[in-house]
Amino acid sequence: MFHAWLLDRPSGTFHAELVELADDSLPAGDVLVQVLHSTINYKDALALTDRAPVVRRWPMVPGIDGAGIVLESRHAAWKPGDRWILNGWGVGENHWGCLAERASLRGDWLVPLPGRFDTRQAMIIGTAGYTAMLCVQAIAARELKPQDGEVLVTGATGGVGSIAVALLARRGWRVVAATGKADQADYLRALGAAEVIPRQQLSEPGKPLQKERWAAVVDTAGSHILANACAQTRWGGVVAACGLAQGMDFASSVAPFILRNVTLAGIDSVMQPLAARRAAWAALAEEVDSGQLEAMAHDVRLDQALEAARRLMAGQALGRTVVNI
Ligand SMILES: NC(=O)c1ccc[n+]([C@@H]2O[C@H](COP(=O)([O-])OP(=O)(O)OC[C@H]3O[C@@H](n4cnc5c(N)ncnc54)[C@H](OP(=O)(O)O)[C@@H]3O)[C@@H](O)[C@H]2O)c1
């Protein structure tokens, strides 16, 4: 038996409950794992609070991220005792996830835990940090460097935002952090932000071309914030778009793309091939500062996951929520 959060709609009404399940209720997989740590990402919070159609089949164990130890394996790459990380692949959406003591997963989905991290640190990073690294790599792939100008990070106090601020500052960028939390400027400066601007400067509808400022952008917000970020990006700049915290819509024009050569780089962490995941995690192992990771971490127990998800949805969460399982 093992404990897990179970989401269900038995007669149309949504339920999220911490329950005890039998091992033989786990879905098919070639690796049986013990989950030591998980986390509450934005998507987990949506699923746990039934705010958006994240869950594709019922009942579902949520948790798109996990890190732990292999218990049993029929996969050539994994043996009992190996330490693994899982991000995405539809886990917690289509396949039972990691807000549970045990999970049955596919060996092809797992990345070896880099020796530099323990499972808790890996989950402070989680999908949020791995996505932040994909954004940073998308900017670097277009040959943009700190000497080219400033980088804007939106939703800066969130999970993706906090880690993006820290990673970009460490690479030498002058990071401008946009936030809705005026009282968290010190937190963002400690992560490496050179300047903190109010989110409201970007959140209203604006002109398709505005004064050029950003050499690059990491956007976690979508909607008007993304449109304004594109409109303010300098000739030849890159906007890495990974989120929808303001909204799914994108009311803009092609002007920044055809008149300023701006690249809109879409970032999806869920279906990245294994090689890209390993490269992102290797770069995280090189570049993440352990002290900064601690500064953004908030620990909760498995039974507190729903409460933590509600806080995140209410916009009260800061940095990264780690679930100690
Ligand atoms: N593409 C991918 O593969 C991928 C992977 C991970 C996450 N994401 C997406 O990226 C976004 C951020 O994820 P996360 O894990 O960092 O979530 P998070 O920890 O909840 O952070 C989101 C941040 O967005 C800002 N925000 C909240 N409400 C907002 C609003 N109404 N308008 C504008 N900004 C708002 C807040 O930061 P401030 O108060 O500092 O502004 C908040 O902390 C989410 O939309 C998530 O779904 C996508």
| Residue with CA at minimum distance from ligand 1 atom 32 | 246
pLDDT at position 269 is 95
In terms of domains, do 143 and 248 share one?
A: yes
Residue listed under structure tokens 């601690």 = 294
pLDDT at position 67 is 98
Closest alpha carbon to 274 in 112, 127, 159, 133: 112
**Is residue 1 helix, strand or coil?**
coil
In terms of domains, do 105 and 172 share one?
A: no
CB atoms within 10 A of CB 114: 19
> What residues have CB less than 8 Å from 87, skipping those under 6 apart?
64, 65, 111, 126, 127, 130, 269, 277
**241: CATH:** 3.40.50.720
Q: Is residue 284 part of a domain?
A: no
In terms of domains, do 219 and 97 share one?
A: no
Give the DSSP H or E segment for 286.
Answer: helix 274-287
* Total count of domains within the chain: 2
**Is residue 54 helix, strand or coil?**
coil
232-266 residues labelled b (16+ CB within 10 A) or e (exposed): bbbeebbbbbbbbbbeeeeebeeebeeebebbbbe
Q: Is residue 162 part of a domain?
A: yes
Q: Specify the DSSP class assigned to residue 200.
A: G
What is the spatial distance between Cα 243 and Cα 159, in angstroms, rounded to a whole number?
11
Q: Is residue 303 part of a domain?
A: yes
CB atoms within 10 A of CB 137: 17
**295: CATH:** 3.90.180.10
Domain housing 229: 127-266
Q: Is residue 280 part of a domain?
A: no
In terms of domains, do 26 and 83 share one?
A: yes
pLDDT at position 11 is 84
What is the spatial distance between Cα 82 and Cα 64, in angstroms, rounded to a whole number?
20
Q: Which of 44, 160, 313 to mutate to test the pocket of ligand 1 (most atoms within 8 A of CB)?
A: 160
Distance 77 CA to ligand 1 centre (A): 34
**Is residue 190 helix, strand or coil?**
helix
Compute and round to an integer the Cα radius of gyration of the chain.
Answer: 20
Query: Which numbered atom of ligand 1 lies nearest the CA of 319?
Result: 19
CB 108 within 8 A of CB 88: no
Q: Give this prediction's pTM.
A: 0.95
Residue 247 pairs with which residues in a beta bridge?
222
Q: Is residue 121 part of a domain?
A: no
Distance 71 CA to ligand 1 centre (A): 34
Per-residue pLDDT of the chain (325 residues; tens, 9 = 90+): 999 999 999 888 999 999 999 999 999 999 999 999 999 999 999 999 998 789 999 999 999 999 999 999 999 999 999 999 999 999 999 999 999 999 999 999 999 999 999 999 999 999 999 999 999 999 999 999 999 999 999 999 999 999 999 999 999 999 999 999 999 999 999 999 999 999 999 999 999 999 999 999 999 999 999 999 999 999 999 999 999 999 999 989 999 999 999 999 999 999 999 999 999 999 999 999 999 999 999 999 999 999 999 999 998 888 899 999 9
Could you give the C-alpha distances from 193 to 23, 164, 185, 290, 315, in angstroms and in order? Answer: 46, 10, 9, 17, 21
| Residue with CA at minimum distance from ligand 1 atom 17 | 42
Q: Which of 41, 46, 189 to mutate to test the pocket of ligand 1 (most atoms within 8 A of CB)?
A: 41
Q: Is residue 283 part of a domain?
A: no
